[in-house]
Each structure stands twice: as C-alpha cells, then as structure tokens.
Structure 1
Amino acid sequence: MTRGFRLRALPMVLLMLAGVVVVTASSPRSSLPTPVAEAPDAASAFAPARLQGTPVGVANQTAEAKKVLANPDGTLTAQLSPQPVRVRKGDGWVPVDTALTSVPDGTIRAKAAVADVVFSAGGEGPLVQFSREGRRLALRWPGALPKPELDGSTARYREVLPGVDLEMQVEAEGYNQRFVVKTPEAGRNPIWGSRRCGSTRRVATRSRPGTTPTVAWPSRCAPAVC
C-alpha cells in the first residue's frame, strides 16, 4: 500500500517541478527596455529612434516655443508654437503655468512663466515687478493696496478708486492690467479724462440681469500707476 502511494505521487512532483521551470523561463521576457524619450543631441537621438520605432526628442534644440524630434527614418521634425509653451526649470523644461500663487517672500507669482512677474500681495511697495533677460521694470501704486483676490492668472485689487477695481493678469511673457469701473458714478470720475489717461474709450462691458454693468477700461488709463 505504501509503495503504491509513493509511485502515484512521483508524477505529481515532476509536474510541479516542470511548472516552476516554465515560470522561471518566462520571467526574462517581461523585462523590456524603457523607451528613450529624449537624447542630448540629434546624433545620439537617431539610434534609439530607429531601434524603438518612435521619435526621440533632441534636448539641445528644445526651446520655449520649439521642440525638435529625431524620427526613425533619419529625418528631423520641428514642432513650433506661436507662443511659449514650456519654461526652463533647472536642467529641464516644465509646461507654462500662469496660475498665480503666494510665495514665502510675501509676493505673488505665476507658477511657471517665461518672464519673472511679481505682483503685490497688498500694502505699500511695488504693484508689479517685471524682469526678463536682464531688463527690469517696477510700477508703484500711490498708496496702500488691498490684499488681492486671486483667480487663475488674475489678481484683483478691489476699490483702488471709489467704485473701481484693478485687475493684474500675468501672461507667459509679461502681464497686462485694466481698471474695472463698476458704477456709472465711477465712470464719470474726472480722472479718466486727464492727460495721463487719454481717451476714455470702453473696451469691454460685462453685466448680468439685475446688476450694474461693469466696464473695463484699457491699461493706458492708469493715471495712478507711476
């Protein structure tokens, strides 16, 4: 009885061993090489492009509005954008992100923009500081500014004049500003017709049912910014 049991168990042991061998033999096949996304230059990008059959980025030809790809067939493709879509951060690139955020030094900046634009967080000091490629500009508001409300890429300073808000919007390469005149009385303020303001042509009107129309004036009507 005992011998018969041992003989019948032997094929089961061999079957289990065979299964282990199959698993061990198949494991190396799952370790495929990681595709190359970018190479330092065109010469070093063509070889991986041919091997993997997909384009490889050329790092030394990437710019804020341009990306060059080495193709498997030995050609190069340049992807051009009408405006910057990426920003240099350290040794790499990150997508442009103009969403405003407060930073530890007490100012407000975009998360990732080509130009360095700094908005006031309220109080005394410059309203905006701009720098790019060694050029610097700072504009001040005559008096203390309220703490701004942040909405995406826009900082809104309420009641900088009676019935008037100031909106500062950061862009990839700079910024723009405008006054939002909220009441008819504010729109009749003599300051809009001053020499420093120039023409008081309206550029946009926003309104909702049951509310007072909101008129946005061009940034050149900024008599208090110096």
Structure 2
Amino acid sequence: MAMIKKEIKPVTGNFLNNFWGIGAKHALYHKDGNWYHQLKKFPGVLFDAHGYILFETDDEFFNSPSLRIRKDVRVPQGIASIKEYIKLSKNLPIETISRIKVNNKPAGNRLTRRTINTIDRIQRDTKVSSWVKYIYNYACQICGIRLQIGQDKFYAECHHIRPLGGVHQGEDIVENVLCVCPNHHALLDYGAIRIDFSTLHSHPNHLIDPESVDYHNNNLSNT
C-alpha cells in the first residue's frame, strides 16, 4: 500500500497567530526577526523563530524607536532585542510547530456518549431567512450556485452581514441578510472575503444595507 506523506506547510504569521491564540488582526513572520512588510491592521504582531512582539495600535507600531519603517520594516537588532518581546518557547523553534501538529494525530473516542447542554443564543426570526432564500430561489448571491438536495429541494444558508448581538449589534432584518452557499457563508464568517456590491446578485425587493456592508468590509474582513 502506498503511503501518503503529509506536506509540511511553511510557517506564516497567520498560522502562528492562530496556533498561539494571540488574537492579532494582522500577523507577519520572519525567521530572523529583522525584516517585515508593514502591519496594516491592529492589534498587529511580528513573529520571529522563537517569539513575538505585539503592537496594540498603529501609533505604537509607527512610533516604535526599535523599528526602521519606510516601505518595509527593518529591525537592525531583530525583534528579540525589543523590551516587549515575548519568548514562546526556550527549546521549541517555531519551524517545528507545523510538523508537530501533523505528527500528533488525536486518538479520538471509540465509545461516544451524549451530554445535556444549556445553550444561550440570540433568537432569530426564521421568516427573515426564509424570505431571503425564497426570493433568490436558493441561489448564492455571491457565486450563483444553487445546491439541489433532492427532487425540487434546494439548500442555501443566510448570512447576517453585520453579526447579531454582542459587540457588533447587527439587526435581524432582511436588509442585513444575504442568501449564500455554505462555502461563501464560511468565508464571510471568517472574514476571508469582502462584500462587493458590483458583483453581488441582487433582487429589486431586497435592498441591502450599505452600512452593514461597510461594517463587514472595514471591521470583519481580513482582505
């Protein structure tokens, strides 16, 4: 039987940001810690092979006396020389992390069990999502794909452009909802894509709130 070898992905700032749970909006990596592109979103983080330095604001970044910022960012002594530098591991070079994740296969559970959980979630008006799906005939407003799951049965999901409740305080109204396929729903949830009015499939009875779109593009999108 042929063995499939898992490719070890190169280390990136985004990978390290997620792996260590830093929570930065923009993350960059350089093995030696002495050259980077400019950070564009904040809090932002710069990684080297053994640790990182976090900049909470753009002022903190651009006014740092340790950085030589022009078109790119030079750190003559490396970020490890900066007082605020945080060392992640004494004996674990960051380059080995992706290899460790591949090799440490979880055991899982052969015997499963059920537990009862109490869920606190925002109540949504199902009429809103049903109406939006109906007027688009279950076709994704971004790519136009309509998933057929049976005879005369189709599947689509609804995405709240400005998320409901919490810090976002989005509204559960049709103007704040898009009809999308599961793939584009995930991309929107993770901020992997922007919402572009010029390419969005639209219906004359469905007026999308431009402020909600601006909120997504300016606060939630990583692109």
What TM-score do you get using the length of structure 1 for normalisation? 0.20
Greater strand content: 1
Larger radius of gyration: 1
Q: Which has the higher contact order (CA 8 A, sep 6+)?
A: 2
